[in-house]
Amino acid sequence: MTDELPRTDAAANAASGDQHPVAGQPLLRIEGVSKNFGTFRAVDGVSLDIRAGEFFALLGPSGCGKTTLLRMLAGFEAPDEGRILLGGKDIAQALPHERPINMMFQSYALFPHLSSQDNIAFGLKRAGMARADIAARVAEMVALVKLGGLEKRKPDQLSGGQRQRVALARALARRPQLLLLDEPLAALDKKLRESTQAELMELQRRLGMTFIIVTHDQEEAMTMASRIGVMNAGKLAQVATPRELYEAPRSRWIAEFVGDVNLFDGEFRLRDGHRLVIATREAGTLVAAEPREPVSETKLSVAIRPEKVKLSRRGPVFEAGRETAINSLDGVIADICYLGGTTTYKVKLDDGGMVQASVVNSARLDVDAYSVNQRVIAWFTPDDCVVLSS
């Protein structure tokens, strides 16, 4: 999350470069795009701006419309409503081959009757490039995705990871203004997926190209993307940086979809400066920082991430310089889940609710560990609370 700065630099560089015609303006503008399949509304009034050089992720559960939106960008589906502007030109009704956009398919869709290099050269031949230029570009792509020595192999003679590279090289070969990636890492095993994530990010930064990736894996989206658009039931629920999405989710649904969260429903009682006092049913009265957008409802939810919840045997531990207004809840350890790097404790609160606390195992010997049925105090600051309308 700390390396957001160099990425925005890359975006600015790419935007001022000659590859992207209109600097400063968004490369891609999606305006009120909707798509129906029969009576089912797959994409519902989505508006979104994508800047040049951005690594954007569309995240959502399966069936949320993210793939349909991507397919409309590629041209395989035509939107029923709305406009799709690429560099200021409406391409909503253009056919796939008329768009300076390429896509990497989830199944890779490599042509089984062609070798790796012929797969990569396919789009270049169609573009009418000279033979020598094609050979040079293919060699460049092969080097870029580290496929050396496999140029003559057919797809069925390649491993899953190698096929993924061929598919990527083929999509990049035409130097599209926009590269779409449909769940590009879904077919790879965990280790390979992690190293490929890093390579994709490195590649995107080096080429200064604009990537839009579709994924259902929130960790993947968080790791790779500079901005994430979360989709639910055809609508864009929130567009934000990974940190914003995690720390300031805009709705209950997003808070629960992205990462783990403790949620307490309650009612607004009073305002104390920039603090809201909320009476919850399951965790007593909580003090929370006022959200940026003022809340009008009286029925509110308080969301706290498990790693923000601290446990202690006696009282809250006050750190120097911290606010003193603190939420502290009494309870009993109900369940312990050891995960290696962290341990998740479930605490049964005296007020009836359950709160999860994720504690980093910073010492090798379990001097600090708690045991089941031990009485503890779970505490967190008002700033750790996110207030959401129910």
Question: Which chain residues interact with another protein by CB under 8 A?
Answer: 74-76, 95-97, 101-103, 105-113, 122-123, 126-127, 154-156, 160, 163, 170-171, 174, 187
The least distance separating another protein from the CB of residue 102, rounded to whole angstroms, comes to 6
66 three-state secondary structure:
helix
Distances (CA, A) of 308 to 82, 94, 147: 42, 49, 44
The least distance separating another protein from the CB of residue 201, rounded to whole angstroms, comes to 23
Q: Between 122 and 253, whose beta carbon lies closer to another protein?
A: 122
d(CA 58, CA 294): 27
Euclidean distance between the first and final Cα of the chain, in Å? 29
Q: Between 11 and 179, whose beta carbon lies closer to another protein?
A: 179
Q: Between 109 and 354, whose beta carbon lies closer to another protein?
A: 109
The least distance separating another protein from the CB of residue 340, rounded to whole angstroms, comes to 30
The least distance separating another protein from the CB of residue 347, rounded to whole angstroms, comes to 43
Picking from 66, 73, 103, the residue whose alpha carbon sits closest to that of residue 180 is 103
**Cα of 261 vs its chain's centroid, Å:** 17
The least distance separating another protein from the CB of residue 213, rounded to whole angstroms, comes to 16
The answer for residues whose C-beta is within 8 angstroms of residue 368's C-beta and 6 or more apart is 359
Q: Between 45 and 161, whose beta carbon lies closer to another protein?
A: 161
The least distance separating another protein from the CB of residue 187, rounded to whole angstroms, comes to 5
The least distance separating another protein from the CB of residue 209, rounded to whole angstroms, comes to 16
The least distance separating another protein from the CB of residue 264, rounded to whole angstroms, comes to 43
The least distance separating another protein from the CB of residue 107, rounded to whole angstroms, comes to 4
Q: Between 11 and 101, whose beta carbon lies closer to another protein?
A: 101
C-beta separation of 260 from 356 below 8 A? yes
Q: Between 171 and 355, whose beta carbon lies closer to another protein?
A: 171
Composition of the chain by helix, strand, coil, percent to 5:
30, 35, 40
User: Residue 365 CB: number of other CB atoms within 10 A?
Assistant: 7
273, with CB counted inside 10 A (0-12, 13-18, 19+), is exposed
Q: Between 103 and 224, whose beta carbon lies closer to another protein?
A: 103
Locus of tokens 């045997």: 313
Kindly state the greatest CA–CA separation across the chain.
76
Q: Between 125 and 299, whose beta carbon lies closer to another protein?
A: 125
C-beta separation of 177 from 86 below 8 A? yes
d(CA 131, CA 134): 5
The answer for residues whose C-beta is within 8 angstroms of residue 310's C-beta and 6 or more apart is 316, 317, 357, 359, 378, 379, 380
Q: Between 174 and 308, whose beta carbon lies closer to another protein?
A: 174
